[in-house]
Structure 1
Amino acid sequence: MPERPRTRGSLRLTALAAALAAAVVLPSPASAAADAGDAGPPLETPVAELAAALSCSPDLRDAAKTPVLLVPGTAEASEYVYSWGYRKALREEGRPVCVIEALPGQGVGDIQTTAEYAVHAIRQMNDVAGRKVSVIGHSQGGLLAAWALRFWPDLPARVDDVVSLASPYGGSGFADVTCAAGVCPAFAWQFRPSAAWVGALTREPFPDGPELTSIGSRTDELIWPAPAATAYPGEVNVMVQDVCPLRAPGHMTLLADATAYALVRDALANPGAADADRVGTSSCGKAVFDAVDVPGMTRLLGLAGGLAEAVLTAPYTTSEPPLRPYARE
């Protein structure tokens, strides 16, 4: 699968510069961006609230492998979507893992506010680990990571990969249905294909540095039409059916799907984005990936009702939240 070309700078050191480098500790690219005052818009959410939502494994500070941040989606507590699958698998691989335990207000509010949790988490992980981190996000979780990297200039230097599962970068028709009566929760307005939020996210290329892999399913009942809904222009957008044509995971069962997991692992383990040809068809005979705790996976069963309840009980508005100044053209 073709990958977006990257421009990598090179630096020629003179003998004098080499001698100085031996005696001086140079700042990381992320630190340099922050020192230059290019850290992006100030966060409006109190730091204490951002920090309270983040939970990390104790080996983050001494990370021998790239740490991974897991970001849940709308109405998804990480305990129910990641503890029995991705968190377990990544820990078994020896990777430090941090999770945003749950999105504020179940993620039904303005995504511009919710994205600040991803901004803080990436910065905190990178600062503690002293190395780049990777991000895996489901549904809204992938959007939060992409928005954070688009509008906070210090973040791309801190991130290796962003891998999303069922994230509607192009908006979803389901949101159009939800808002058809002219009133719906803030996040649903922003999920529409015609939303100003979607336009602001995708009007520029994804920032250089991190790789973005968007993974979706043609049988996702919430994120459609496929594959347009999960496409970020210029980035890899792969359906599990591109690898295994007969698979039919839905929005939530994609979290356990063996082929989706194979694509995630390929993205994390190799330079560049996931490559469907490189992944091959070995996962096609499995329903779920090997590390899944199947009894724990049953926690997914209650999430559809939880999402419906979150949408029904959320504050409804008659229009999309206005774009904040930093996101306007």
Structure 2
Amino acid sequence: MAALAAAVVLFPPPASAAAGTAGAGPPLETPVPELAAAVRCSPDLQDAATTPVLLVPGTAEASEHVYSWGYQKALREEGRPVCVLDALPGQGVGDIQTTAEYAVHAIRHMNDIAGRKVSVIGHSQGGLLAAWALRFWPDLPARVDDVVSLASPYRGSGFADVTCAAGVCPAFAWQFRPSAAWVGALTREPFPEGPELTSIGSRTDELIWPAPAATAYPGEVNVMVQEVCPLRAPGHMTLLADATAYALAQDALANPGAADPDRVGSSSCGEVVFDAVDVAGMTRLLGLAGGLAEAVLTAPYTTAEPPLRAYARE
């Protein structure tokens, strides 16, 4: 774990980055130093021989807790350059339209440094941030190869309806509701041409439901791990270690187009976690990522969904 942490460094954004994105969608409201401070990249990004991968955590998660023992470790062992968003600003409980700016900056930064397309893996809100960024910043689709999401509610989740039932809840929960204006803005148009989206979910996810409708982005691949291995039962957090979810993610990264369950086959069905998982690290760190309930309870509450910004209105 210590060696893995030592292997990531923070690259300063190139001076040309801001100028190169002029006119490429809505101006970013978050100061660039704040956006840059959230991204850590492996040293080989600037000499990338394979597609680099950006790992985006979800609400109330830190990348160390959800990726260092699994996806980050596995991708680095494959020789892929990896960048992580350390954590979402304010634990990701605020307006997703602000939080998404961190994904916009990270994708541009990686592409500028590597000089090649990047792929994005996001858990829960992390997948939504990537999709929102690609929908509304027109320079990004040409910079991205694959987006792979794990338990990301593109169509909203019933859990958010329950959370907001009293008429007050955090901003992100308003935006997670199936009826939210934010959800409507995200999904009213097809996913941008170029990048491939693979949405991976579980019918036993206790937070993202109903399945499979909640994780569906219209027109894109939406696959439940139970379609590959019917007896699997990963929850929202354990999907991060699930061998079948990982096999689907790897299939998307390794092949043209989105993941293909038929191509993946049943070879992962006899495994609980994928091979590269550091089980001791997972046991120690994954529990620290289960802070959603505390984040919701301690977040600023509002009585309405944040208004859509001008760029996202019809």
Is TM more than 0.5 here?
A: yes
Please report how far the alpha carbon of residue 296 of structure 1 lies from its aligned counterpart in structure 2 after TM superposition. 0.5
Distance 1:93 1:196, change over 3 A: same
Secondary structure at the aligned position of 1:144 is classed as helix
Of the three residues 10, 14, 24, the one matched with 1:39 is 24
Residue 95 (str. 1) matches residue 80 (str. 2): yes
> Are the aligned partners of 2:4 and 2:73 in contact in 1 as well (CA < 8 Å)?
no
1:177 CA displacement: 0.2
> Structure 2: any 5+ residue segments left out of the alignment?
none
- Aligned residues of 2:243 and 2:268 also touching (Cα < 8 A): yes
Runs (4+) of structure 1 exceeding 2 A deviation are 18-38, 299-305
CA gap of 1:282–1:125, structure 2 versus 1, over 3 A, is same
8 Å Cα contact 2:17-2:109 kept in structure 1: no
Q: 1:288 to 1:83 in 2, by over 3 A?
A: same
Write out per-residue CA displacement over residues 78-119 of structure 1, whole angstroms, 9 at most, x where no aligned residue. 000000000000000000000000000000000000000000
The reply on whether 1:23 has 2:7 as its aligned counterpart is: yes
Q: Separation in 2 of the partners of 1:292 and 1:237?
A: 24
How far the C-alpha of 1:267 sits from its partner, in A, is 0.0
Q: 1:228 to 1:30 in 2, by over 3 A?
A: farther
Question: Per-residue deviation at 1:270?
Answer: 0.1
Aligned length: 312
Q: Which secondary structure does the structure 1 equivalent of 2:26 belong to? A: coil
CA distance in 1: counterparts of 2:130 and 2:57, whole angstroms: 11
* Residues 317 and 33 (structure 1), Cα distance of their counterparts in 2 relative to 1, 3 Å cut: closer
Change (3 A) 1:37 1:186: same
1:61 & 1:43 partners in 2: Cα distance? 24
Shift in alpha-carbon separation, 1:129–1:183, aligned structure 2, 3 A: same
The change in CA–CA distance for 1:322 and 1:137 in structure 2 (over 3 A counts) is: same
Matched residue of 1:234: which SS?
Answer: coil
CA contact (8 A) 1:55 1:100 kept: yes
Contact 2:53–2:118 (CA under 8 A) maintained in structure 1:
yes
Q: How does 1:1-329 map to 2 (within 5 A)?
A: 38-303=23-288, 305-329=290-314
Of the structure 1 ranges 179-188 and 23-32, higher mean CA displacement relative to structure 2 is found in 23-32
**Deviations 1:120-154, CA, capped at 9 Å, x for gaps:** 00000000000000000000000000000000000
Alpha-carbon displacement from aligned partner over 1:231-285 (angstroms, at most 9, x marks no partner): 0000000000000000000000000000000000000000000000000000000
Deviation at residue 54 of structure 1 after TM alignment? 0.1
| Deviation (angstroms), 1:76 | 0.3
Q: Secondary structure at the match of 1:61?
A: helix
Point out the structure with max Rg over C-alpha: 1
Q: Distance in 2 between matches of 1:23 and 1:78?
A: 15
CA deviation after TM superposition for structure 1 residue 298, in Å:
1.3
Alpha-carbon shift at residue 159 of structure 1 (Å): 0.1
Taking a change above 3 Å as real, the CA distance of residues 301 and 210 of structure 1, as seen in their structure-2 partners, is: closer
Whether contact under 8 Å (1:205, 1:233) holds in the other structure is: yes
Q: Determine if contact 1:141/1:164 at 8 Å carries over to the other structure.
A: yes
Whether the 8 Å contact between 1:30 and 1:155 is mirrored in structure 2 is no
8 Å contact from structure 2 (residues 149, 198) kept in 1: yes
Any conservation in 2 of the 1:30–1:157 contact (CA below 8 Å)? no
Deviation (angstroms), 1:306: 1.4
* CA spacing shift, 1:25–1:220, aligned 2, 3 Å: closer
Relative to structure 1, the CA distance from residue 30 to residue 242 in structure 2 (aligned partners, 3 Å threshold; closer, same or farther) is farther
Cα distance change of structure 1 residues 21 and 303 upon mapping to structure 2, 3 Å threshold: closer
Question: Matched residues, percent identical?
Answer: 91
Larger deviation, residues 28-37 vs 126-135: 28-37
| Structure 1 runs not aligned, ≥5 long | 1-17
Cα contact 1:142–1:167 (8 A) shared by 2: yes
The question of whether the paired residues in 1 share the 8 Å contact of 2:66 and 2:289 is answered with: no
Q: Given that residues 225 and 245 in structure 2 are in contact (C-alpha distance below 8 angstroms), is that contact kept between their aligned partners in structure 1?
A: yes
Distance 2:276 2:305 in 1: 40
Q: Residues 24, 258 of structure 1: CA spacing in aligned structure 2 closer, same or farther, 3 A cutoff?
A: closer
Cα pair distance change 1:316/1:268, threshold 3 Å: same
Contact map agreement 2:154 2:183 (CA 8 A) in 1 = yes
Spell out, residue by residue over 1:183-215, the C-alpha distance to the aligned partner (whole angstroms, 9 max, x if none). Answer: 000000000000000000000000000000000
- Report what 1:12 is aligned to: none
C-alpha change, 1:117 and 1:304, in structure 2 (3 Å) is closer
Question: Structure 1 residues 212 and 22 mapped into 2: Cα distance closer, same or farther (>3 Å)?
Answer: closer
Provide the alpha-carbon RMSD of the alignment.
6.9
* Distance 1:259-1:83 versus aligned 2 partners, 3 A rule: same
| Contact 2:60-2:290 at 8 Å conserved across structures | no
Kept after mapping to 1: 8 A contact 2:7/2:43: no
Assess if the C-alpha contact under 8 Å between 2:13 and 2:109 holds in 1. Answer: no
Q: TM-score, normalised by structure 2?
A: 0.93
Residue 303 of structure 1: how far off its partner (Å): 3.9
| Partner SS for 1:59 | helix
> How much has 1:33 moved relative to structure 2?
13
